[in-house]
Amino acid sequence: MPYRAVIFDLFGTLVNSFTRREYDPVNARMAAAINAPYAEFWQLMGDTLHDSCLGRYSSFEHLISDICSRTGVHADKAQIAQAAAFHYEFVASAIVPEPEVLEALDKLKKRGYRLGLISDCGPPIPLFFPQSPLARLIDIPVFSCEEQIKKPSSAIYQRICQRIEIEPHECIYVGDGSSQELTGAAAVGMRPVLKRTDLSDVYDSHRPEVENWRGPAVDEIKELCEMPF
């Protein structure tokens, strides 16, 4: 069966995973900026992730304001802006891929594949994505916070297929297995491919579909260029 498009996950797939080693210090700086207890702030950042990915916060500043309310912290706009700035700085650097990834995507495009992206994320990702080198290579990016649906809902996979104007069975989906994304892709008819990545330091290290995966898998994105699709 000829495939016409490759749809990618973002973190852990096209760019590095969101690791605790790298992001916990950002949490600490944000908590300090608003004078919030770190442990409580850290917990609430995790607790609000689902709502953030579903677009229930208009901005990261809105999310920080909500955390302030939940913790009883009285932070002014300048403090909230400073906390958000720490996150924005992290995001801007985190969505820059390795040169090898860009080379692989360029090869896939030259072979005629349409390239898409589905990311479960909050508002900062679509805010900064246009500045990422990925933006010139990804034909259609879909962000859960803008769609108000997230993986593994079939609706988010169907939405990108509608926008890229290609049927699900003509798409390869590549992801690191977060959010049950591979199962979700397969359910709509896409061909799922696991992007293996180190899960020892991520926030959602227990991923049953990764642990039990028996389908095609790659260690590097460039390997897709050699697979017999």
Secondary structure (H, E, C), 98-149: CHHHHHHHHHHHHCCCEEEEEECCCCHHHHHHHHCHHHHCCCEEEEHHHHCC
Q: Quote the pLDDT of residue 31.
A: 98
The model's pLDDT over 173-205, given as tens digits with 9 standing for 90+, comes to: 999 999 999 999 999 999 999 999 999 999 999
Q: Is domain 5-17+95-226 annotated with CATH 3.20.20.70?
A: no
Q: Quote the pLDDT of residue 191.
A: 98
Q: Which of 11, 194, 197, 225 is nearest to 117 (CA)?
A: 11
What is the C-alpha to C-alpha distance for residues 28 and 188, in angstroms, rounded to an integer? 40
What is the C-alpha to C-alpha distance for residues 223 and 205, in angstroms, rounded to an integer? 24
Q: Quote the pLDDT of residue 228.
A: 82
Q: Quote the pLDDT of residue 1.
A: 55
User: Does 216 sit behind a cis peptide bond, omega within 30 degrees of 0 on the bond before it?
Assistant: no
Q: Looking up tokens 């500045």, which residue turns up?
A: 131
Q: Please state whether beta strands 171-175 and 114-119 pair in parallel, antiparallel, or not at all (unpaired).
A: unpaired
In this prediction, the residues of the chain whose per-residue pLDDT falls under 70 are 1
Are 19 and 129 within 8 A, CB to CB? no
Write down the domain spans for the chain. 5-17+95-226, 20-94
Q: What's 58's DSSP letter?
A: S
**Element spanning 195, H or E:** strand 191-195
- pTM score, whole prediction: 0.95
Q: Quote the pLDDT of residue 154.
A: 98
What is the C-alpha to C-alpha distance for residues 122 and 99, in angstroms, rounded to an integer? 25
- Contacts of residue 170, Cβ cutoff 8 Å, sequence gap at least 6: 1, 2, 3, 4, 5
- Helices 38-47 and 60-71: angle between axes, nearest 10 degrees: 130
Q: Quote the pLDDT of residue 229.
A: 78
